Amino acid sequence: MNTPEPSLTKTELRKSLLNTRKSLPAQEWTQKSEILCNHLHNSPLFTQAKTILAYFSFRQEPDLSPLFATPKKWGFPRCVGKELSWHVWQPGDALDTGAYGILEPLPDAPKIDRSEVDLILVPAVGCDVRGYRLGYGGGYYDRMFSLAEWESKIAIGTIFEFALLAQLPVDSWDKRLHGICTESGLKMIQQKS
């Protein structure tokens, strides 16, 4: 776990962590991603889940694609205005490139019913040991997790170990994750209700 300079802002931390992630050699990125996927794949949260929301790796985020062949109902986001719209996707289905250059399911792909969702694998730039997440600054996931119907859904941040920090700066709108998975393992965080 890394302890950042306490005076760094979210913007400075984001830039530093993204630069570190971008500098990972391709072979190391692939290896760390595969190990992270194995931790997820072997967890009861994953094996018991029927419907999982995930993401397509962007800017050297951990690559979750080894998991997508697992027979589950997979949901992936489309950015629609300021919200995430979740759609069914299976390997072989066509993809679009969205507004941020991220791969997305086609707009006419069936939508995922929120009530079906068992597990959410959340992309992040960094996380802290308390479960706070540093994203890209768009607020999509924080807005989603602030809605009552998403509060009970298990959300796991997926990052590389170098991006797990002792403490992130936190704003009032930031929502905690239930756990964090890195190449070192899956760590569940005790949530206070």
Q: What is the pTM of this model?
A: 0.93
* Residue of 110, 144, 117, 113 lying closest to 54 (CA atoms): 117
Instruction: Give the chain's mean pLDDT.
Output: 91
127-30-48-151 Cα dihedral, nearest 10 degrees: 20
At residue 3, the pLDDT reads 55
The confidence band for 193, taking pLDDT boundaries of 50, 70 and 90, is very low
Residue 139 has pLDDT above 90, yes or no: no
**If you average pLDDT over residues 117-144, what whole number do you get?**
93
Residue 1 has pLDDT above 90, yes or no: no
The confidence band for 100, taking pLDDT boundaries of 50, 70 and 90, is confident
